[in-house]
Amino acid sequence: MASVEIDQVGKSYGALEVIKDLNLHLEDGKLTVFVGPSGCGKSTLLRMIAGLERITAGEIRIDGKRANDADPIERGVAMVFQNYALYPHMTVEQNIGFSLRMAGLTRPDIAARVRAAAQTLQIEELLSRKPAQLSGGQRQRVAIGRAIVRDPKVFLFDEPLSNLDAELRVSMRVEIAKLHQKLQNTMIYVTHDQTEAMTLADRIVVMRAGKIEQVGTPEELYEEPANLFVAGFIGSPR
Ligand code: ADP
Ligand code: MG
């Protein structure tokens, strides 16, 4: 388990400053949702926390340790992407076990951990299938399985349900809430879906143009939005 501290973090692509002097402290074991319009920097921030993108200013600490130069495995983070990013030529079992094979675990150890992850996500009967033989919801479960099998301290989701149809989105949202209850780890979840944010979050971070507009519980943001932008995003009657 781990806290995530973002301290005066900035990110520029050449002259384009996409994250500006951002400060945020995420508590251990909480589910934080980032919301904000397209292009405001949510994915960039997530990728910087994951160690997939270098920060150009400030410091990120995970579990109290400076993580600026650490890779995702060293940081103890795992990320689930919007497009699943499964390996098409591998079975579900191989997809979920891939990072463990890279890490040099033994076959029996890998098999046991893959089975435990599959059990958690109720996809045990799909282990021998290829991604092409799965539905969208099943693929997303496999993508989540690939992340949880590593037992990450911090779990990052970038709009994981946005490619699913409305009905499936609701049931997967419930699954993710259950997963968080079970694993009790630090989760950061990016979405542009206001209902997802309001129902999943312990805390919501509202972003706009590379900055934070407001941080609070769903109730706080709904009852006392700091400005019209937040009110509009959260759907407050104001
Ligand atoms: P969001 O996830 O909130 O939609 P992003 O983090 O993807 O936003 O993007 C934030 C800004 O950074 C956008 O203006 C985007 O065009 C820009 N951006 C993202 N990645 C790159 C990159 N690799 N090179 C240049 N600009 C980028
Ligand atoms: Mg994005």
Q: Are 103 and 133 in contact (CB under 8 A)?
A: no
pTM of the model: 0.92
How far lies 75's CA from each of 6, 59, 112, 194, in Å? 14, 13, 24, 29
Ligand 1, residue 53: give the atom nearest the CA: 23
Q: Please work out whether the CB of residue 39 comes within 6 Å of at least one atom of ligand 1.
A: yes
pLDDT value for 228: 95
Measured by CA distance, the residue closest to atom 26 of ligand 1 is 13
Ranked by mean pLDDT, which of 60-74, 165-179, 180-194, 212-226 comes out on top? 212-226
Predicted-complex ipTM score: 0.98
SS3 (DSSP) at 221: helix
Listed in sequence order, the residues at least 6 apart from 79 whose beta carbon sits closer than 8 Å to its beta carbon are 46, 47, 50, 52, 72, 147, 156, 157, 158
Tell me: the pLDDT tens digits for 135-158?
A: 988 999 999 999 999 889 999 999
Q: Please work out whether the CB of residue 48 comes within 6 Å of at least one atom of ligand 1.
A: no
